[in-house]
Structure 1
């Protein structure tokens, strides 16, 4: 069974998912697994990737899961 078809895999169930203040009205959050992404402008701040609550990636595992963090 692929990870995409399981119900236990979602960004909100990962300890690296951060519900950011700018995204409180949506199911979006920030992925804190990797460092922020650099921007083309040298004066711009790096940005954390924005992910949907039901997104998932190849980094998800039992070690990165958090209990009770999602529906």
Structure 2
């Protein structure tokens, strides 16, 4: 199990903006590590994976690296 410091909520690729359907849990956000998954239809937007701040994966990167902050 990952430590709290390696959790999604502390990752440069975590976006706490909102979930794919504007129904994110209070500790939810979007993982921006990979491109969005396929659109369900040609007029729909791509879908980003929804994750919890406490989730983790092997792609963790700190929010700040070498004095540079992650893109907003």
TM-score by length of structure 2 reads 0.68
Q: 1:6 aligns with which of 3, 8, 11?
A: 3
- Runs of 5+ unmatched residues, structure 2: 65-72
Partner of 2:29: 29
* Aligned equivalents of 1:66, 1:43: Cα separation in 2: 33
* Aligned equivalents of 1:5, 1:27: Cα separation in 2: 17
* Aligned equivalents of 2:8, 2:2: Cα separation in 1: 14
CA deviations on 1:8-55 (whole Å, 9 max, x unpaired) are 2110100110012433x6110000110000034344321011001100
Please, what is the CA RMSD of the aligned residues? 1.9
**Higher strand proportion (structure 1 or 2):** 2
Is it true that 1:20 corresponds to 2:17 in the alignment? yes
- Runs of 5+ unmatched residues, structure 1: none
Question: How many residues in Structure 1 have an aligned counterpart in Structure 2?
Answer: 60
